[in-house]
Structure 1
Amino acid sequence: MANWKVIGGIAAGVFILGGIGSAMEDKDSTTSNDAGTAATSAATPTATVGATASASPDDKAAGPSTKADVEKKAVPEFVGMGLQSAQDAAQEAGFYGLASHDSLGRGRMQAFDRNWKVCSQSVAAGRTVSTDTELDFGAVKLDETCPAKDRTAPTAAGGKMPDFKGQSVKAARAALDSGTSITVADASADDRFVLIESNWKVCTQTPKAGTGLNGQPVEFGAVKFGEPCP
Structure 2
Amino acid sequence: MNTRTLTVALACIATVALVGCDPADAEPTPDTPATPQSTAQAPAATPSKATEAPAEAKAVPNFVGMGLQSAQDVAQKEGFAALTSHDSAGRGRAQVFDRNWKVCSQNVAAGKTVPADTTLDFGTVKLEEDCPANDAEAPETADGKMPSLVGKSVKVARKALDSSTSITVTDAVQSRMVLMESNWQVCTQSPSPGAALNGQPVEFTAVKFEEDCP
| Fold in common (TM above 0.5) | yes
- Letter aligned with residue 202 of structure 2: V
Q: Deviations over 1:131-189 (max 9, x none)?
A: 1110000000000000000002221111111111110000000001111110001011x
Match of 2:97 in 1: 112
Mapping of residues 114-129 of structure 1, within 5 Å: 114-129=99-114
Match of 1:147 in 2: 132
**Runs of 4+ displaced beyond 3 Å:** 53-58, 65-69
Deviation at 1:66, TM superposition (A): 6.2
Q: Deviations over 1:110-137 (max 9, x none)?
A: 0010000000000011111111110000
- Letter aligned with residue 88 of structure 2: S
Gaps of 5+ in 2: 1-40
Counterparts in 2 of 1:223 and 1:55: CA distance versus 1, 3 Å? farther
CA distance in structure 1 between the partners assigned to 2:108 and 2:43 by the alignment = 46
**Residues paired across the two proteins, number:** 175
- Residue from 115, 121, 143 that aligns with 1:136: 121
Greater helix share, structure number: 1
Gaps of 5+ in 1: 1-52
Q: Percent identity among equivalent residues?
A: 66
Q: Does 1:222 align with 2:209?
A: no
Mapping of residues 1-230 of structure 1, within 5 Å: 57=45, 60=47, 65=50, 67-188=52-173, 190-230=174-214
- Which range moves more in the overlay, 149-158 or 78-87? 149-158
Q: Deviations over 1:5-38 (max 9, x none)?
A: xxxxxxxxxxxxxxxxxxxxxxxxxxxxxxxxxx
- Letter aligned with residue 160 of structure 1: K
- Letter aligned with residue 72 of structure 1: A
Counterparts in 2 of 1:146 and 1:66: CA distance versus 1, 3 Å? same
Query: What's the TM-score, normalizing by structure 2?
Result: 0.77
Query: What's the TM-score, normalizing by structure 1?
Result: 0.72
- Letter aligned with residue 208 of structure 2: K
